[in-house]
Amino acid sequence: MEITKKDLDEVAQLAILVKKVDNSDAEYVDSISDEIYQKQPFFLAVLLGHRLDTTPLELEEIMKIYLLVWEYFRNNINVQTKKVTEKYFDKNQDRLIKMLMYAEGEPGEPERMNIYSLDLGNLKSKALWAAVLLRTTYRDTLIKMDGIKKGFVLIGIKSFIECFETL
Q: Tell me which residue range forms the domain holding 52.
A: 5-166
Compute φ and ψ for 89, nearest 5 degrees.
-60, -50
The answer, yes or no, to whether residue 8 has pLDDT greater than 80, is no
Q: Please state the rounded mean pLDDT for residues 49-74.
A: 96
- pLDDT top residue among 113 and 80: 80
Digit-coded pLDDT (tens) for 122-133 = 889 989 999 999
pLDDT value at residue 58: 96
pLDDT recorded at residue 109: 83
User: What pLDDT score was predicted for residue 6?
Assistant: 76
What is the rounded CA–CA span in Å between residue 81 and residue 94?
A: 24
How far apart CA 25 and CA 44 sit, in angstroms, is 18
Residue 2 has pLDDT above 70, yes or no: no
Q: What proportion of the chain, given as a percentage, has pLDDT over 70?
A: 98
Q: State pLDDT tens for residues 18-43.
A: 999 999 999 999 999 999 999 999 99
Domain count of the fold of the chain = 1
Phi, psi (degrees; rounded to nearest 5) at 116: -60, -40
